[in-house]
Structure 1
């Protein structure tokens, strides 16, 4: 089955709240070699005006992944994980993610571009805090290969 074109403009249910933990931020910072003290040291982060450690910009993928799991689990999507590559990622931030944030995300498929037997699927996850204030929009492009003939 090819990617379902009816996915365009489909919005998924908001995710359960994700509580950003200090140790998760520190672990992520180590994993991506983000060495600035604000990512691991609460005092350094407070000196910059933040309540706690600041997540590296790509940390938003942790929350966005919850939404992408919804898309990949959609029975009529036509997206098979074994034929899918994460091709592009972008972020539009209103403010940094900080330990202690409780974040919720909602995914919307914004475009599908067919090519040959495959397709490029673009989606946007709007990530908001507990007050429903925008934190970041995470934009992903998945490259989905077609089935072999």
Structure 2
């Protein structure tokens, strides 16, 4: 395997990953909602969603973070940073919704590195990634993810 020349996380602040479209697949969404214990049938039962007047299964807020990770630049950036994935911890995540989304939607994800900072003399490094999610150009959500690198 060829190793990419690594860069410091601070050099990537402002980097835009570019857009990436993802289809919200019904089977994967149903599996996710079952695993996390979502009991409302509009999340996993197409007939219940239809009775509620929805165009598909309702996507729960945290599901978008998993879809964002399908962006092809994510593994390339991790490689470029030279990060040992075993040293990465989940710091925090937040989201702001503008509109609901559903199974069958094609969503566009556009992540970018928003910030980088260190604590404890560099022993803990924090990488902040923001992501705009749209459907047909209309805003769906704004995601923020903070990872901690030990």
TM range (shorter): 0.7 to 0.9
Q: 1:99 aligns to what?
A: 103
Q: Map residues 2-17 of structure 1 onto 2, 5 A cutoff.
A: 3-15=8-20, 17=21
d(CA) in 2 for partners of 1:128, 1:58: 16
d(CA) in 1 for partners of 2:88, 2:7: 12
Is the contact between residue 4 and residue 78 of structure 1 (CA under 8 Å) also seen in structure 2?
no
In angstroms, what is the RMSD of aligned CA positions? 2.0
Q: Does 1:46 align with 2:25?
A: no
Uncovered stretches (5+) of structure 2, i.e. residues with no partner: 1-5
Q: 2:127 aligns to what?
A: 121
Large movers: runs of 4+ above 4 Å = none
Name the SS of the counterpart of 1:66 in structure 2. Answer: coil
- The two structures have a TM-score, normalised by structure 1, of 0.84
Count residues with an aligned counterpart. Answer: 142
Is the contact between residue 83 and residue 144 of structure 1 (CA under 8 Å) also seen in structure 2?
yes
d(CA) in 2 for partners of 1:81, 1:72: 10
Is the contact between residue 16 and residue 113 of structure 2 (CA under 8 Å) also seen in structure 1?
yes
Uncovered stretches (5+) of structure 1, i.e. residues with no partner: none
Relative distance call for 1:86 and 1:70 in structure 2 (3 A) is farther
Q: 1:140 aligns to what?
A: 145
